[in-house]
Amino acid sequence: MEQLFQYKDLYHFVYHTFIKIGCSDQHASTASEVLLSADLRGVDSHGIARLSGYVRLWEAGRINSTPDIRIVHETPSTALVDGDRGLGLVVAPFAMKIAIAKAATTGTGWVAVRNSNHFGIAGYHAMMALEQDMTGIAMTNASALVAPTFSEEKMLGTNPIAVAIPAGTEPPFVADFATTTASNGKLEILQRKGTNMPLGWAQDSGGRPTQNPSILKEGGALLPLGSDREHSSHKGYALGSIVDIFTGVFSGASYGPWAPPFPAYIPLPENMPGAGLGHFLGAIRNDAFRPLEEHKAHMDNWIKRFRNARPVSGAQPVLIPGDPERESQARRIKEGIPLLAPVVSDLAALKAKLGIETSLF
Amino acid sequence: MEQLFQYKDLYHFVYHTFIKIGCSDQHASTASEVLLSADLRGVDSHGIARLSGYVRLWEAGRINSTPDIRIVHETPSTALVDGDRGLGLVVAPFAMKIAIAKAATTGTGWVAVRNSNHFGIAGYHAMMALEQDMTGIAMTNASALVAPTFSEEKMLGTNPIAVAIPAGTEPPFVADFATTTASNGKLEILQRKGTNMPLGWAQDSGGRPTQNPSILKEGGALLPLGSDREHSSHKGYALGSIVDIFTGVFSGASYGPWAPPFPAYIPLPENMPGAGLGHFLGAIRNDAFRPLEEHKAHMDNWIKRFRNARPVSGAQPVLIPGDPERESQARRIKEGIPLLAPVVSDLAALKAKLGIETSLF
């Protein structure tokens, strides 16, 4: 039950949606490009499927479509940015540009962001650095769905980390992953199929193992990368915590169980200790350590060697982080972006509500 | 079969061992403190149990006990350090001091290190930043024991990451973990016990699941954090790769399957693409983003909230990364450091070989 859409048609629709809620031309362009980069790269949970969710957050007054995004404090290699409740899709690229500019002058640049919202895929922001021959890093916190090791309570978001490292003739290394074993999106796929979930993805409301993919609606929680103590879930918990502290505590955003939820119908947590969601963005000049040509040649060598690692008999070849997403992007630019029927009807409702002129949906 | 030793007695022995192999007083002091911090913190695999291994590397000419550690290149926030084949136990603190000094002036400092050796526990180096009210980061690559997702071949080391973040009245947050599901040390414990290993820790030489804890001696490999594809081993693989690239490719050290092995009897890999092992060290001034007092108050709040997360019924309380190691250190300073019989006899042999004056062993 999928329908194919061309990137430029979806871009037109998304752009005009952001214009309708009051974004400037520049903000609407940036937000559309960031949001749809998820659909191109095959991260369907973070793309146009979330568009109506952003609009509902704007309707609820939680997103400011005309934010005054500003630097609150800075040092030669760091800055703190206040997103003024703007779209994370716009606030994060603003902050990443500052990180890149600081890296150009001091070797590295690091920007903590508060008072923001969901920023789409972390990979987009990290990849902004690639064009400048820099390594890019992006993290965000998110509303709590994950139980730390030994905890019954949800304390952390899926808190992704993205790292993009340019090479020479090889395509860049682009890792972009949630610090959990499975994403909520994977559970939703199993719910639609009506099948069981593997053990180790989530726990029930009492912290017990479960194979019920709807368990998050019944008080359950996602598990940190590692799944259980025996398989080092404390490492995934530590990793998600590092992201929460760098993005939330460093910046003055909210954090832990107080991170604001994406669905507008869920009330904001009480006694939030900070402002909105937090991000952390970094850029490292690739000639900050060794000469650029050496860096590139050895990244190429690294990538080739790992791509040629001897695969397990019968398994697919060993992948470099970023390979599947790059292949998805090439295919979807050519063949179109597939959208599921519920997403299409959601967008049709959005079109009617906002009065967007398009022949789509 | 454990015997208890006092920290100061072990320090005396380790210090004189390093003096015997030609280290300066200052290098021997630093190396002893770093090495024994592992024993204090309960990371027994990385402490005095490895002392004879360092000596064998020196005997094999792979460790230079009088290195000319130097800065090769720098920018305001970064430096590249060449360790001149010195002890990682000495080279990494040298580099971390540079990171801290750069952070003091530009907000953050980042140092890539090449031509080094095993640096003990990553946590020690990250924690050096705490005294300056800075966040510390430390990573190292290591010889290949880990198979990436879909790979039969060992391509990555256990590649640890440590992040130490100071708080106010609470003890600091100190995460220090290998990017694998289990460490080789855990497999060795099961070998001694003669029991099976949990599935998901390692694979056999054909990439198949195994419960044999001796499998690494039979061509097997450790698995990245996540264990298998279904539980997101590709994320652990990405994480270990990021460490390998930041420590090895950024610096000009060797990397991937070419990282030099710790046991001196294993020949160096052919066609090594760089010099020795690599490290990556970072320091972030905690007032680089928001005022220090705010940072401390919110770190305290973060730590208290997570420590009070509702535990799973019957489970222990939720821990903050660094809690078990801090408790170990307090206990072992008071009660002594337990060493297993094989470690004691190994140290006795070392004492005889080097002629170290001590009543121990």
> pLDDT tens digits for B309-348?
999 998 899 999 999 999 999 999 999 999 999 999 999 9
Q: Given the cut 0.85, state whether the ipTM is greater than it.
A: yes
Evaluate whether residue A155 is within a structural domain: yes
Helical spans, DSSP H, in chain B: 7-20, 25-41, 51-59, 88-106, 122-127, 184-193, 233-244, 292-307, 323-335, 341-354
- Distance, in Å, from the CA atom of A311 to the CA atom of A313, rounded to the nearest integer, reads 6
Q: B143 with B256: CB under 8 angstroms?
A: no
Of chain A, the percentage scoring pLDDT greater than 70 comes to: 100
Report residue A192's pLDDT band, with 50, 70 and 90 as the boundaries. Answer: confident
Which residues of chain B are under the pLDDT cut of 50?
none
List of chain A residues whose C-beta atoms are within 8 Å of the C-beta of residue B249 = 295, 298-299, 302
Q: Does A1 have pLDDT greater than 80? A: no
What value does the mean pLDDT of chain A take? 97
Q: Does A272 have pLDDT greater than 90? A: yes
Report residue A157's pLDDT band, with 50, 70 and 90 as the boundaries. Answer: very high
- Region A346-353: mean pLDDT is 97
> pLDDT tens digits for A121-151?
999 999 999 999 999 999 999 999 999 999 9
pLDDT of residue A47: 95
Count of domains forming chain A: 1
Q: Which of A174, A348, A271, A310 is nearest to B147 (CA)?
A: A310
- Distance, in Å, from the CA atom of B286 to the CA atom of B360, rounded to the nearest integer, reads 43
Report the CATH number that the domain containing residue A145 is assigned in CATH: 3.30.1370.60
Closest chain A residue to B274, measured at CA = A298
Closest chain A residue to B237, measured at CA = A321
Of chain B, the percentage scoring pLDDT greater than 90 comes to: 96
- Residue of A151, A289, A300, A319 best to disrupt the B interface, most CBs of B under 10 A: A289
- Nearest Cβ partner for A256 among B230, B249, B305: B305
Evaluate whether residue B53 is within a structural domain: no
> pLDDT tens digits for A206-241?
999 999 999 999 999 999 999 999 999 999 999 999
Evaluate whether residue B86 is within a structural domain: yes
Residues A65/A94/A260/B317 CA torsion (nearest 10 deg): 180
pLDDT of residue B327: 98
Closest chain B C-alpha to A185 CA, distance in angstroms: 14
Q: Which of B106, B149, B158 is nearest to B284 (CA)?
A: B106
Evaluate whether residue B102 is within a structural domain: yes
Evaluate whether residue B320 is within a structural domain: no
On whether the pTM is more than 0.90, the answer is: yes
Evaluate whether residue B107 is within a structural domain: yes
pLDDT of residue B185: 84
What is the residue range of A35's domain?
2-181+223-291+326-354
Write the secondary structure of B281-301 as one string of H (helix), E (strand) and C (coil). EEEEECCCCCCHHHHHHHHHH
Residue whose pair of structure tokens reads 């200790």 in the numeric block:
A273
Report residue A188's pLDDT band, with 50, 70 and 90 as the boundaries. Answer: confident
- Region A50-60: mean pLDDT is 97
